Chain A
């Protein structure tokens, strides 16, 4: 099978190792309730960041409404598990949440994706606000009071699974011809269109995929923090995610992962000082943009930093000729 390369085996090994180690630490109790929250936050933020990065970093479509997609996933999963209280219900909720978020993403995408830059940003912001107002006024979501007592199914197992899945699937997409089509849109939309790329289709596709995973993240969130209200998914949440993407580097999945970890840890320390945290985040945005707009990783991934790549291509790839 062509996927069996040395690099892939290393990656699989690293994932299994991480999973086992963390699981052990949880069992022993070293990772207690408090740290578990940080862990959950890291995983959920990684999924949110890589999905936003696909839309904004790779396809160049500036989206300020990512929290809106997250909220759809959260509410759908919450309501599903509240009526179907089982692991099956949970997984169904995640799938349904992601899918509905993706559908909304397509709905939003088609009319707005002809807008550029600033206008698109504001339009996505507006869309997220409209979603929030709708949730605020719906019977089924209990309006401003929100939903409580959502059954908790999110565990390290599921967090790890979905985080890894999100990173792998999005990475695979980006490394494919479809992914390159998206990247070409970011680089020069007119040239891309002239080279046969249906730019509208790919912009909407990026939006849909990004929205899907944001929905998944939202679902995991709902089933972990078991309490939801529309205010959680405000513009500030979209900014939170944007800061992670910008810090890590727009166009680098590795960067998003690193930044998600760094910022989640920072958030945990600054938990009681929301204002300070926001001031730090805001200052970070300005400083990064003025002094190092590429962020931590720019558009490079971890394997670009190692000289792995070139040797690997020649020696280890098992290819049938």
Chain B
């Protein structure tokens, strides 16, 4: 039982990270029907920004988090403007290919400039560990989960209580109608990218602190898994992304803990394929039909 609870704890921390990243995927997909392949790499950049701030500017966790989030928000908006906006009327394959290109560009430009070696974050948080019987929860995990919850609550607030949030929801239902109602669609899309990227950036910093190592390709697997989480929860659905992220995190931890960690990745992919075949709209998503 204790093993089980421990795995749950670990799974929830990991899942919170996936949820933060998944939110960005789901919001962008919801609004322009694009799988932003480069999203995982924005997360990586966030980790590096956090690293630079804490290592070279000697600032603490919160400043690093905020600055990383701002930097990633900016990056997200730039990517959208340069690579995705020109292709708004192109085929889905075309945009997907471009997204892949942007992703690789981010990865290898980073590699070129900072090298492929792993870097470590300096110690930012206390080493405190909380013991509940045999279950260990360390301070970093608490920070991760709490930060994630706070950010997600912030997101919900923005979405439901602000004008721009309302615009985001409207544009994701019907872009053209929104435009006719006077909503500035381009700005709304930019803002969506900004928020999604900021969340990914936050996740990057949190991961840097928790796993203590970052490298230019760190965004690939988590990015893919977060995407799977978004699909699982229902792509386009915000609560879906949160649930999906947590589920995938827990699932992965359990497979690792109880089963063969080598097959861990394969299991997550197999799950994706299963979902796509059985219920592509995920847990909370909607079925869309093409009108004939």
Contacts and interface: CB of A to CB of B under 8 A. Distances in A.
B98 A130 contact: no
Contacts of A289: 87, 90, 94-95, 97-98, 101
A136 B107 CA distance: 24
Contact of A112 (B96, B100, B273): B273
B104 A190 contact: no
Contacts of B94: 289, 293
B97 A285 contact: yes
Nearest to A119: B276
Interface in B77-100: 83, 86-87, 90, 92-98, 100
A281 B102 CA distance: 10
Interface in B182-201: none
Nearest to A134: B266
Interface in A249-303: 250, 275-276, 278-279, 281-286, 289-290, 293
A278 B108 CA distance: 6
Interface stretch (A70-78, A79-87, A121-129, A164-172): A121-129
A290 B292 contact: no
Interface string A218-249: 00000000000000000100010010001000
Given A117-B93, A129-B266, A134-B266, A286 B276 contact: no
A268 B87 CA distance: 32
A54 to B, nearest CB: 15
A21 interface: no
Contacts of A155: none
Indicate the member of B93, B265, B266 with the most A CB atoms within 10 Å.
Answer: B93
Contacts of B102: 282, 286
A117 B273 CA distance: 14
For the residues of A in contact with B, the DSSP-based class is helix
Interface residues of B, number: 41
Contacts of A60: 93
Contacts of B103: 282
A11 interface: no
A129 B108 contact: no
B120 to A, nearest CB: 22
Contacts of A117: 92-93, 96
A279 B280 contact: no
A137 interface: yes
Contacts of B112: 275-276, 279
Nearest to B105: A282
A123 B272 contact: yes
Given A129-B269, A190-B290, A118 B96 contact: yes
B43 interface: no
B87 to A, nearest CB: 6
B270 interface: yes
Contacts of B290: 190
Interface string B244-273: 000000000000000000110110011011
A122 B272 contact: yes
A133 B266 contact: yes
Given A111-B277, A112-B276, A279 B90 contact: no
B47 interface: no
Interface in A154-210: 190
A121 B96 contact: yes
B109 A136 contact: no
Contacts of A242: 97, 100
Contacts of A115: 276-277, 280
Contact of B273 (A123, A134, A136, A137): A123
B248 to A, nearest CB: 13
Interface of B: 34-35, 83, 86-87, 90, 92-98, 100-105, 107-109, 111-112, 220, 224, 227, 231, 262-263, 265-266, 269-270, 272-273, 276-277, 280, 290, 292
8 contacts: A111-B273, A115-B280, A117-B93, A118-B96, A121-B96, A242-B97, A282-B108, A293-B94
The 7 A-B residue pairs with the shortest CB-CB distance in the complex, in nearest-first order: A285-B101, A282-B104, A126-B269, A286-B101, A282-B105, A278-B108, A117-B92
